[in-house]
Every structure is written in structure tokens, then in C-alpha cells.
Amino acid sequence: MLLGRIGTMLLSVAPFILLATPSMAAVTLNTATGSPNGIDTREVAEHRHGYGKWSPKVVIVSMFYPEAEVWYDNMKNGSLGDLLANNISVPGLSPLYPHVHCNGNGEICQLTVGESEINAAASMMAFVLSELFDLTKAYFLLAGIAGINPKLGTLGSIALSRFTVQVALQYEIDAREMPGNFSTGYFSYGTYAPDQYPSVIYGTEVMELNENLRDAAADLAQRAKLADSAGAADYRAKYGTDNGLYAAGADEPQVIKCDSATSDVYFSGAMLSETFENTTQLWTNQTTMTYCMTAQEDSSVLHAMMRAAVWGRVDFSRAILMRSGSDFDRPPPSISAFEHLRLIDENGFDIAVQNLYLAGVEIVKGILIEWDSVYQKGIRPSNYIGDIIGTLGGEPDFGSGSLFGGLGFSRSSSADVGLAKRKLAGRKGRNAGGWK
């Protein structure tokens, strides 16, 4: 199923809307300061103009309130400081989550971008373009719960990803109307059958991150003792009956390295999950299946960061994508896809949220402890990083190559490199061959 927010979240949506700010008092007018949402804007302005911009070393990116709350509740009792010590209003953030929160010394900040691709893209773009922050040295830890593939992981597992793929960016025909020789109703733009590489490219299909940083973050996360529960163990045991195909799903939570699928569609069942396994492998040009997490926001957040990186606002090589498994994307044997999606509590939500913090805080602490020796100067990527069209420079190791001749988009010119190809795509339209 797409996104591990089924179960607990969808049974009662209203509480999360009510809890969208750190306290209910925060949604009323602050009579002492005359500012909305209980934030003293005079204090924020004084910090900005008196001491310069906020310059965090780590930015935690949450998607909805429970993912943020676990940081608020736990950090205030630890050595990293209260994450709600400073609350900064930023124009353009979600009205449900209108503030960026930072600890006392401003080294760690957190924002909640909101659920779905549109919310996440709009919020992240507002943040990275805000003049209140200097984010050029910041590491971004995307930390959210997700659906998990039982071929590679289980409830409570933590996954660090190199790729995220926007898997629903395809044609779709209802399975009841698809051609008899089709294995799925999903097939790529510009193609005529499943499992063909898209020939019409939008530019957001694949995002690739710094693999060396991913590996370093995974090593730090390994220091955590991950949470588990009897309820989660009971449900994942059902995956141990499928002749070893889902052996990872029946195992205990672990830190794993595998990739993320992005789509606003919640899905459940082996057929759709295997379709998007294939999409991820095909579009990233990998020889093995690496899809393990499914979520709504990853491609959107990372694409906003990449566009900001073009203008020197962030360093895209400092992005870390971490997801925890709160439910499985397909049912175990003997349970239907519908029952699995809507009727059965898999008992993974609570441990997934806990493990976001338990693993994530080890990454945050590791970055701060080794700031002077390692992280201030950055971890140089040895792989290509960026999107499918080469916006940041270099040649993607997937897709049809850089649209900018390997040079990247130039903000100081009209980016003539690749212009003819873009015009060609515009003339032919979405149903033709695109620029391939």
C-alpha cells in the first residue's frame, strides 16, 4: 500500500489536524505580541536582523504531525535541546504547519511540509527560498513513515535510499479494460506497453542522492536499538509462510539500504506493488530490484531542493532520505488486498514513528559530533546526483542522458545546451517520442 499512514491515521484523521501545531493555544492570537499563532515575531525579527540568518547544521523534514511530534517530545529531554525553543514563521508554509522550529542554538531545525506531493513541494520551496535562513551548509534529513516491501524489509525497519522514483507518473488504464497481453494497466509516457522506458520525460521521474552520504547515514543509524512490539511481530510472522519470498518481512526491524517510490496514490496488493518494483528498477537502470519504501512526498521535497541548489541556496549532496516501515505494501498469504489496506491493524505505526527518532537522532548526533572533521566540508559523492535530465550537471546513469550536455542548467545564461531537444519535445507533445 502506498504510504504507511493507513491503519491508525486513516481511522481518525481529525486528531492530526487538531494537533497540527505544538499546542492548541498556538492557533489563537497571541495577545501579548499581537502576532498570530502564538509566535513572537518581534523576537524572530530581532534574531534575524541582530544576529543574521538562521544557519542550521541539520534540518529535519517531517511530513505530518506524528512524525514531527516524536522529535518534539524526545529532544527536549536529551542533550540536543528543545526543538521548540525557537519557532519561526515562514511565508508559504502549510497553514497546518506554518513554522520552522529550531533548538536553542539554532544548529538543528525542523519543518513539517504536509502530506502529498503538492503540499510537500510548495512548503519545501517556500522554506529553501526563505531569506530567514542560510541553508548552504545544512544537511537535510527527510524522516517519514512509509509502506514497506516485505521482500526487503519489515514493520519498523529503517531504510536509507539512493533513489526515489515518481512511479505513478505514467499512463493508467483500468485493469478491467487493459489489453489482454498487458501485465498491468500502468505503462510509461510515450510507450505502447508495460516495461518500456518512457520516451516523454517531465524531469521529475527519478531523483538520485549522494550514495556515500547515504552509506555514512546508514552506519550512524545502525547505532540505534530499534523499537519493536508484540503486535507488529504477530502480523509480520504471517509473511514467513510464503516459501521464503517474504523472509525479510517476517524478520525483526533493521536498518537497510534500498529505494523509495513516490506517488499520491495509496495502493495495496502484490500486483500493483510488483508493477512499481519493476518501474523503479527500469527507470533507475539497475539490474536488481531495490524498491522497498513507498511514500507521497520524497520526489517533491527533493526536487524543490534541487531547484534551490541551482541557485546556490542549498547543497543537494547533503540530502538524506530516511523512511520507516509502518505497514506492508502487499498482504501476506490468505489475506486480501482490501482487508490488508482498510480492515486490519498491522500494528506497525507506533514502532515506525519511534524508530524515525531512534535512528534519526543517531544521524543528527553523528553529524554534529563530526562536524569539524567530516561534515562541515561535506561528503563528496562518487555517483551522479540530481534528476533525470542532468539539471545539476553530470550525466545521469539512467534515462536518455543530460538535457544540458553534461554541464547542467546555467543560471547565468539562457541554457542553450539542449534547447533544441526541449523545443522538439514541445512540438511532438506528450503522446509522441518526446526528446529521446
Convert the pLDDT of each residue in 33-67 to its tens digit. 333 333 343 344 444 444 689 999 999 999 999 99
- How far apart, in whole angstroms, are the C-alpha atoms of residue 380 and residue 114? 30
In a domain, 175, yes or no: no
DSSP strand pairing (171-172 vs 186-187): antiparallel
What is the domain range of residue 333? Answer: 8-169+204-390
Give one DSSP letter per residue of 208-230, joined into a string. E--HHHHHHHHHHHTTS-----H
Distance CA 376, CA 367 (A): 9
pLDDT, tens only, 272-293: 999 999 999 999 999 999 999 9
Cell numbers standing for residue 79 = 542533550
> Rounded to whole angstroms, how far apart are CA atoms 385 and 417?
19
Check residue 242 and give its pLDDT.
80
The answer to whether position 199 is within a domain reads no
**With contact defined as beta carbons under 8 Å apart, do 294 and 269 qualify?**
no
- 189 in a domain, yes or no? no
Residue 408 covered by a domain: no
Whole-prediction pTM: 0.86
C-alpha cell at 141: 534529513
Distance from C-alpha of 342 to C-alpha of 415, rounded to nearest angstrom: 49
Q: Alpha helix (H) ranges present in 129-237?
A: 211-221, 230-236
**Does residue 242 fall inside a structural domain?**
yes
In a domain, 174, yes or no: no
Q: Within a domain: residue 432?
A: no
- Tell me: the pLDDT tens digits for 62-118? 999 999 999 999 999 889 999 999 999 999 999 999 999 999 999 999 999 999 999
Asked if 221 and 367 touch (Cβ cutoff 8 Å), the reply is no
- 402, 201 Cβ separation under 8 angstroms: no
Question: Looking at residue 385, which CATH number applies to its domain?
Answer: 3.40.50.1580
Taking CA atoms, 352 is separated from 137, 206, 349, in Å, by 29, 25, 5
Query: What's the total number of domains in the chain?
Result: 1
pLDDT tens-place string over residues 242-267: 889 999 999 999 999 999 999 999 88
Is residue 406 domain-resident?
A: no
Q: Specify which residues 295 forms β-bridges with.
A: 262
Nearest in space to 140 (alpha carbons), one of 170, 166, 174, 111:
111
pLDDT in tens, 332-352: 998 999 999 999 999 999 999
Name the grid cell of 273: 506493488
